């Protein structure tokens, strides 16, 4: 049997976490709500993909964290999908400047999220095969 892909989900909203738990049942998921938890999770696990919220009230925002990860040689290879209620064109532009691989607005369609996760995981697999 193939090993489940491991996803790190940086999301402080409990209802959204509940949706992710159901939607992402085919993945091995780890949830965190702050920068401190994110750093601990990254030290203790190897992740295939990160879902990153932008608004994290008890932490630096997700774009700052994304920028830090994409500029750290240990984590730069991990695809990051930004999922946020910040949906203005400038928010999207800032997310890509920070280094996200994909951007999704809340509320999102479940099928679209699953599709984007699959694309990012395949893209990451292809780059490792090169």
pLDDT digits (tens, 9 = 90+) for 86-129: 889 999 999 999 999 999 998 899 999 999 999 999 986 666 55
Give domain 6-122's CATH superfamily: Response regulator (3.40.50.2300)
Share of the chain above pLDDT 70, in %: 92
pTM of this structure: 0.92
HEC string for the chain: CCCCCEEEEECCCHHHHHHHHHHCCCCEEEEECCHHHHHHHHHHCCCCEEEECCCCCCCCCHHHHHHHHHCCCCCCCCCEEEEECCCCHHHHHHHHHHCCCEEEECCCCHHHHHHHHHHHHHHHHHHHHC
Q: Where are the domains of the chain?
A: 6-122
């Amino acid at each position: 049997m193939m090993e489940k892909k491991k996803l790190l989900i940086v999301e402080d909203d409990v209802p959204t976490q509940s949706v992710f738990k159901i939607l992402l049942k085919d993945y091995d998921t780890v949830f965190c709500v702050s920068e401190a938890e994110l750093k601990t999770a990254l030290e203790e696990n190897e992740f295939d993909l990160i879902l990153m919220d932008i608004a994290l009230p008890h932490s630096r925002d997700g774009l700052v964290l994304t920028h830090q990860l994409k500029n750290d040689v240990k984590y730069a290879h991990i695809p990051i999908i930004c999922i946020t209620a910040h949906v203005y064109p400038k928010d999207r532009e800032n997310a890509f400047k920070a280094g996200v691989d994909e951007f999704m607005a809340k509320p999102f369609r479940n099928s679209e999220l699953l599709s984007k996760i699959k694309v990012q995981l395949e893209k990451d697999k292809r780059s490792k095969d090169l």
